[in-house]
């Protein structure tokens, strides 16, 4: 099923991008619906993270077009995209371990326009994530991996973005923290945030998603409802990274 055209908030059309002489995205095209969770899956090296870097202005789009809210945002700088309501949580740990939890959170407001009431935003974030309030004065390094990811999400949501790009948040987290992280994403979606998520944990991510995209070799292979993808035998094949591993590999992570 194609996305509802009237509800599309982000589109990539024929995006070509890469690193130096290397081309990774070979005309990537897809559309993302507003206030939905769309999960991007695909084998390692497919270009999933590269798509996010292209959308967030971290690498140059050579040809093609990226539109957000109907506006051409191709090759804008990250701070311009932040101002337009796009937020990005990269893969891995992105907190400042030596700084307090509160100070890390405050950094989410560094690009805030003057009319924003930052202390109120920070209070609201601490209300929403009680664990961050209880550890507000502690060094961020004392948080567990899951709590650190929560801090990153809270920081990225401080300016109330319309679109959150989140790359592999579940890596290294316990199953309980993965569920908690997914619950946070569902809650953000229910409050109207559009979420584009990259996940290795494809099955459980699709189970909580509205839509999914399968990316392979820098191109969209499949784009459908999450449910349709879960039931699509081709998806199992792609999960195996080309089908060279045994079938049961598709069941795990």
Ligand X SMILES: Nc1ncnc2c1ncn2[C@@H]1O[C@H](COP(=O)(O)OP(=O)(O)O)[C@@H](O)[C@H]1O
39 binds ligand X (CB under 6 A): no
Candidates 19, 92, 96, 98: give the one binding ligand X (CB under 6 A): 19
Shortest Å distance, C-beta 134 to Mg ion? 32
Structure tokens given for 163: 């679109």
48 binds ligand X (CB under 6 A): yes
As a residue count, the chain comes to: 253
What is the C-alpha to C-alpha distance for residues 190 and 147, in angstroms, rounded to an integer?
22
For Mg ion, the closer of residues 48 and 189 by Cβ is 48
Structure tokens given for 176: 């309980």
Could you tell me which residues are beta bridge partners of residue 223? 213
Shortest Å distance, C-beta 36 to Mg ion? 21
Residue 251's CB is within 10 A of a number of other CB atoms, namely 9
Candidates 24, 66, 153, 226: give the one binding ligand X (CB under 6 A): 24
- Write the CA distances from 251 to 112, 204, 207, 226, 229, integer angstroms: 43, 10, 13, 16, 14
SS3 31: strand
Which option in Mg ion, ligand X, none does residue 6 bind, with CB closer than 5 to 8 A by kind?
none
Candidates 28, 39, 49, 74: give the one binding Mg ion (CB under 5 A): 49
Which option in Mg ion, ligand X, none does residue 146 bind, with CB closer than 5 to 8 A by kind?
none
Interface residues with ligand X (CB under 6 A) are: 19, 22, 24, 42, 44-50
């Amino acid at each position: 099923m194609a996305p509802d055209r009237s509800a599309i908030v982000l589109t990539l059309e024929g995006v070509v991008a890469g690193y130096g002489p290397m081309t990774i995205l070979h005309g990537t095209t897809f559309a993302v619906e507003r206030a939905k969770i769309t999960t991007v899956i695909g084998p390692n090296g497919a270009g999933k993270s590269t798509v996010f870097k292209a959308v967030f202005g971290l690498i140059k789009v050579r040809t093609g077009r990226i539109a957000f809210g109907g506006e051409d945002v191709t090759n804008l700088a990250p701070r311009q995209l932040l101002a337009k309501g796009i937020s990005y949580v990269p893969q891995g740990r992105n907190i400042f371990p030596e700084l307090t939890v509160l100070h890390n959170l405050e950094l989410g407001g560094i690009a805030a326009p003057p009319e924003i009431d930052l202390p109120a935003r920070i209070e609201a974030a601490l209300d929403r994530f009680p664990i961050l309030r209880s550890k507000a004065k502690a060094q961020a390094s004392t948080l567990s991996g899951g709590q650190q990811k929560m801090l990153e999400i809270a920081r990225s949501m401080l300016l109330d973005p319309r679109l959150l790009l989140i790359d592999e948040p579940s890596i290294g987290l316990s199953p309980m923290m993965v569920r908690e992280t997914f619950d946070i994403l569902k809650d953000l979606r229910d409050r109207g945030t559009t979420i584009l998520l990259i996940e290795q944990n494809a099955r459980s991510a699709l189970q909580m998603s509205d839509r999914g995209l399968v990316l392979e070799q820098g191109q969209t292979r499949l784009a459908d409802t999450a449910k349709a993808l879960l039931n699509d035998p081709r998806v199992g094949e792609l999960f195996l990274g080309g089908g060279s591993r045994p079938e049961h590999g598709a069941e795990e992570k």
